[in-house]
Structure formats: structure tokens, C-alpha cells
A and B are shown apart, each in its own frame.
Chain A
Amino acid sequence: MPELRFIGGYPEYMRESIEVVNRTRPKRMEQPRAMTKEEREEVLKLHPDYAPGGKRKIRIGQNKGDIAPNEVVDLLEAYPLIQPGEIDLGKVDYETDILIIGGGLAGTTAALWANDSGIPKGKILLTNKLRHGDSNSMMAEGGTQAADRPNDSPAIHFIDAYGGGHFTNKRDVLRALVEDAPFIIKWLEGLGAMFDKNEDGYFEEKWGGGTCRKRMHACRDYTGLEELRVIRDEFRSREIPVLEFYPAIELLTDEGGKVVGAILWNMETEEYKVVKAKATILATGGFGRLHIRGFATTNHYGATCDGVVMAYRAGAKLRDTDTVQYHPTGAAFPQQIVGLLLTEKLRSSGAQPVNKRGEAFVFPLEPRDVEASALIRECYVRNNGITTPTGMKGVWLDTPRIDLINGEGYLERSFPGMVRMFKRFGIDMIKDPVLVFPTLHYQNGGVEIDPQARTNVEGLFVAGEVSGGVHGKNRLMGNSTLDCMVFGRRAGIFAAQYVKKGVRVGKLGLNHVERYVKELKEAGIRTDRRSPMLLPDYRGKAVLARMIDIF
């Protein structure tokens, strides 16, 4: 095959279509109308989450009979990484009041508020699988919702989220989310987070898909990075103990079934450590790296569903495991960034999905599932997509339209991260559109919590993406960074309260794991699958075929 010729970062054959997009731009000032209910229902049949196949019933545990994606059920119906008998629980390596597992926005916020609620820093331990902060939180681009403008209210926020969640959200938990939101923004501001503000000092608030008010608070397109690095800096300033490259691989329970700590594993020396804790806060994030239905993902390297697996073995109830969120606009080109997120804020600022003929075919701010389905239909049913050299299909996201609407320089100023990412691969998104396709984005359900971030298992608190309930079956943009901080804070506060009331920690054990293994066997589940997964494996097939384990 001859070398492909690239012009402005795109192969020559894609340029033709780009020229059409550039030419038709002035004619596309009016947006296509939003779909009717019937139209939505029709297109949604193509959505990876609703199209047949891909899911099955969970056969054991609390949620037996519930539906979940095959990839998740595979991990739930798998054997533990350790044999309970081979672990010596007699020697405790760390004894603490509160163990926090996972250091994204949820876990780090929990640590600060546990400390603020009277737990001394030395009695908190945060452990993380990767470095502290390497997480989905770091990557949030779009923003955080909070109903703080005079024409907005917690009630309107509630309604937006409840409708967006297809009326399945846990209402009392959702209430906590919307009522705490303005406080969280103020708290972050007080810690020194730099939210975008206009000249008069008011937040510059943007649209998010599915909301009827502008309430998205952003820090350019590095919102999560700014929020987390500020919170983490505060965490480090307070010198709260932290472990890195030390994933939890199993929770510990005592005779009464309370969660009383965890087993950690040093990823480099492969040694295990035993943590005894009065309360445990699980904040391990989502599951994008399971590549559900074979989709590329926006998620970080460690998003492998570990928390759900560990909590489930300890008897925690899950909910809304049957839905998965795909983001309508992941990068489809170039190969190096396939799956990575192009924030919804691009569309709320004027970028328009456009097919290969230069036609705007969908209202840009439909709910995520509708928007994603419309893109899939355009590519795979109507054949109006553009095929990349590696065989991916996508449609254009007309980014130059942003400056056309907001004035020159706006795109570069508001989306420096995005512009930089494409520039690295020779593409100028200010002048040319970029190619997009839906990508696996968010774990809607998870471990069920109440407004105090408690689970049905005593001693186990849960916050952030690993939790279930607040978003029901579909999360709106900007509600999950918020969720992390609202329930991270609540987990910290209520775990502290729980500890201060006095907790009698019994004998550390893995009875729940033994019970779970027995149940697996009784259900006739014979497999060599092991979980939690900890990390995905992307090694080349050729190398794996010749790998021998001798050292």
C-alpha cells in the first residue's frame, strides 16, 4: 500500500468532505429541531445499551436475577485473586479509624471532611491503585453543575436530573446532591479553585445536555484537573497518610459481617498488607476499561470495576447495573486518541455534528443516549459517516462553528486542552472539524447508597462513580464530579460520626469471600476468571503468544 498523504493532519481522501463542511457552515446557522418522543424511541433502538445482546442475569449474590453487562457479570461471577487460607490476618500492618480506597475526587474529598469532622490525620489512610489522582476525575473537562443563579433552583436541578435519569434516581439521594451543590462550589472556591468568571465576578455558566438552565461551572476545559489538584494539594498540605500503587484486592469483615478494613497489594513487590479500620470508604470509580460491547473508552487506565466486585462479595446491594453511559462524542481520528473525550461543552458552545455531506443531522444537545444513537445511525445505517484508515467510522464535529458564534479566539481560550490534543497530531480544530464517534463513558449504577453515603453493610461507605442511586439509569453531564464531592464529603462526615460513636471491631476475616466462593460453586459457575481485575492488558498479541512465565 502506498503511504497515505496527510494534509493538515488528515489523509487526503478525508479532506474532500472537510471542504464540504467548511463550505456549508454559514448555511447551518439554524440548529436542527429536537426529536419528538417517538423519533427518540426509534433511534434509541440502535444504542449499544438498548440493542439486544450484551447483557445477562447475575446468578449469585444480593442482586441475583438482576441484569448487567456481560463484562460486569464476568467479574462478579469470578473467583477471588487470593485463597482466603493463604492470608495471615493475625498481623495487622495498618490500624486506622477510616480507610479510604481510591483517590479521585470522591476519595480525596472524603479524607478532607473526615479530618474536618474530628478524625486526626494519622487516623485516616487513603490508598490508591495508581498514583494519587490518576483517575477519571482528572479528566473531567466540561464542568460541575450547581443551581446557584437567581433564575435557577435546587428543585429545577432535581427535575432535570430526575428526568434525565429516566425517573429512576433514588430521590432522597438526589435531593442531597442538588441541595449541597452550591455549597460545594463555594467550598472549592474557598480552597482556591479557579472557576471561569466573567468581568463582573459571576461564574460563567454553560449549558449541559438535558438541563433547562445554564448551571455548568467550568475551569476552562480542565475542570476535573483543577478541582482535583486543588483538593489534593490541600490533602497533601494536611499530611494525611497515603499509599500509591497499593490497590485493595478484598475487603475484610468481622464475625458480625461489618466491613473492618481491606487487604492491599503492593503492585511492585507483590506483597500484601492488612489494614484494620473502623470504617471503610470505597471510592474506586468506574468501569470504562472493561470495554463494554467492544467500545473504546474515555476512562483512565484503572477504571476496572474493582470496587463493585469487592463490595458485592461483602454483601453490598447494587442498583441500576443494567445501564451504561456512552458519550456521543469520542475522538474517532487519529488512531492515537480514539475513544478520548470531546466534551459536551463543545456542543453547548456551538459545535455541531455534521455528516460527510455537510448536513447537520441532529439537534446537538439531545440527551446523551439519543445523541449517541443518532451518530451511530448516521454512520452505520444511513452510511453518511467517514471511514478512517483503520476502519473506524465517524461523523464530523464542526468545531470552527464555535468561533463563528462566539467570536474569534473563543475556542482556543475556552478549550486549550482540546486544541492542544489535536495540535499534537497536526490537526487544527479551530479551522477544521474533528471526527467523532460514541465512546464508553460512565458507570451509571453501582453500590447502592443512602443520603449519608452508607450501604446496607455496616462500616462500608461508598462515594463517587462506584456508587449507585443518585443518577438512576442515566447521568447528566456535570452531575458526577458534583456527586463525587457531595457524597465524598458526606461519606467523610458520616464515617467520622460512625467512628466517634464507638465501633467494636471484631476478628478480621474473609468469611464473606469463602461464602461467596461456595455460592459460585453451588451455582455451577466453573471458570478460571479471577477478579478484581486491577488493570487491563493491552500487550501485543504476538508477544503474548510467545511469553513464558519462568521467573
Chain B
Amino acid sequence: MAERKINVIDEIKKASRSVTTGIEEKDIEHWVEIYIMGKAYKVPAALTIMQAMEYAGYRFVRGCGCRAGFCGACSTVYRKKGEYRLQTAMACQTRVEDGMFLVQIPFSPAEKPSYDLGREKPEPSVFLKYFPEIARCVSCNTCTKACPQDLEVMDYIQAALRGDFRAVADGSFDCIQCGLCAIRCPAEIVHYHVAQLGRRMYGKYLNPLEKNAEQRVKEIEEGRFKEEMDRLLKATDEELERIYAEREREPD
């Protein structure tokens, strides 16, 4: 029995090899050719752009963070052979395709204005106060086309111009601050900073503060739970095990 268990772990280890220790040529059936900054490399067809660059010999310092589509570190632009369109993607979330010419944009220069949320009022003018350049939007929709999260970026910039906090907050909620919109915008707007201000204003001022948490904080400050907690801290493990076993699960 014990032997069998060791085998299970070994089998799992073997099955996961391609994502834990790097890929070996002999395991690959399908290949494509990509061009990393113009140089051709033959890479396994099943990989993301990020994995393919590693396969080709790159070891990332920049341009790689979460490896899961959350952090916005791996912005990439590419053109495919024979196509005029310049496309954008997150390297960790996009499969390589034959004939991709690609380069990463690991940094997008953009200053973020400082503000003290406590001193701002949720008035429509707050957007223009910190981001006057949004008035220069020419509605070309380039930002929307560039967004790897498929957000309606232009719409939320237009909403900011109108001072519609809810629309900015909702429309930009999935933004991973990758910077691709800002790099492409002819009006030099830094969309994701505008969105961040909008969401925080909305979260703080336009979404009523929750009452349960407020009440509970007060109760804790007043020492409502102190005695009970003191008891738990002193209880024997057997007592705590019993309490744990007897917990009642609230209904679904």
C-alpha cells in the first residue's frame, strides 16, 4: 500500500513536468514559428507566448508577474505575417500562433496624480481636476480595441467626462492596469489611473457604508467578545476540539 502511494505522487510529478521543469523537445508533437523581436524561433504550438519565450531561451526579469492574467505585467504587441493589424495581448494568457511577430512592453511611463480621497467630494469635476486630458478624447475607440480584458475603455472614459461614477466603476472593474490602452491612445490619456480614481470614489462615497461591519467593530471595541475570547485562549485542546466538532453550520 505504501509503495502504491509513492507511485501516485511520482505519476503526478511526471504528468506535470511540462509546467514545472521546462519543456523537453521529445514531448512535443506540434510546432509553430514565432518571431521574438524579429528573430525566428520554433516553439511548441500548445504554449502561451510567455511559455514559448521561455522555451526559446528567455528568462524573464520584467514582463512576467502573476503568470495568470491578474497583474498586467506581461503586455505584448504583435502582428501576424501578412496582416496589417497591430494586436495586443497578455503574454501569459495567449496561445502562440504561427507567424507572430511580437515584442513585450514591460513598462508604460505614466505619472499618477496624488490625491487624498478624504478631502475630495464625489463631484463630477473631480475627474477633470486630476485628469484634464480626458477632455481631449477623440472617440477613436483605439483604447477599447487594445484592451486584453475586453473592457469598453472608451465608454468609461466618456463616463468619466460626464462624471458618472457608477459607470466608470462598473465598466473598469476588471482592469488589470496593463497600460496597453494608454500606450495606444492618441490623446495621451492614462485610462487606468482615471478608472482607479473613479472606483475608489464610488466605493467610498456612492456605495452606502455597510452597517454590520460597522456595528461589529464597535462591539469589539466595547469588549463584547473579550471574555469569550479569553476563555478560548485558555481552554484545553480537548475542549476546543469538542466545540469544533459540535459547531452548527448555518443553513445554506
Contacts and interface: CB of A to CB of B under 8 A. Distances in A.
Interface string B95-128: 1000000000000000010111100000000000
A543 B55 CA distance: 8
Contacts of A390: 15, 18, 27, 46
Number of chain B interface residues as a range: 35 or more
Interface of B: 2, 4-6, 8-9, 11-25, 27, 29-30, 46-48, 51, 54-62, 64-71, 73, 93-95, 112, 114-117, 149-150, 169, 173-174, 176-177, 196, 199-204, 207-217, 220, 225, 228-229, 232-233, 237, 240-241, 243-244, 247-250, 252
A191 B69 contact: no
B48 to A, nearest CB: 5
A539 to B, nearest CB: 5
A300 B68 CA distance: 8
A416 B54 CA distance: 29
A360 interface: no
Nearest to B250: A213
Contacts of B73: 130-131, 134
24 contacts: A1-B29, A52-B6, A130-B65, A135-B71, A146-B216, A148-B210, A182-B213, A193-B200, A201-B207, A201-B211, A233-B112, A237-B112, A239-B114, A291-B20, A293-B9, A294-B13, A294-B16, A294-B17, A302-B65, A389-B46, A417-B69, A535-B61, A540-B25, A541-B24
Interface string A119-148: 000000000001101110011000000111
Given A154-B220, A538-B54, A295 B16 contact: yes
Contact of A186 (B6, B20, B115, B214): B214
Nearest to A190: B204
Contacts of A130: 64-65, 73
Number of chain A interface residues as a range: 35 or more
A182 B216 contact: yes
B70 A230 contact: no
Of the candidates B19, B47, B169, the one having the most CB atoms from chain A within 10 angstroms of its own CB is B19
Contact of B200 (A191, A381, A417, A547): A191
Given A156-B247, A193-B203, A417-B70, A296 B210 contact: no
Contacts of B240: 159, 162-163, 167
B11 to A, nearest CB: 6
Nearest to B197: A233
A298 B8 contact: no
Nearest to B210: A203
Interface in A311-360: 334-341
B61 A335 contact: no
Complex A-B, nearest 10 residue pairs according to Cβ-Cβ distance, in ascending order: A294-B13, A134-B65, A192-B200, A163-B244, A543-B57, A192-B203, A192-B204, A540-B55, A182-B216, A148-B216
Given A155-B228, A159-B240, A296-B19, A175 B71 contact: no
A393 interface: yes
Nearest to A217: B213
A472 to B, nearest CB: 12
A155 B229 contact: yes
Contacts of B211: 201-202
A220 B18 CA distance: 31
A311 to B, nearest CB: 24
A144 to B, nearest CB: 11
Contact of A236 (B2, B112, B213, B228): B112
Given A131-B73, A134-B73, A179-B225, A229 B196 contact: yes
A296 B51 CA distance: 14
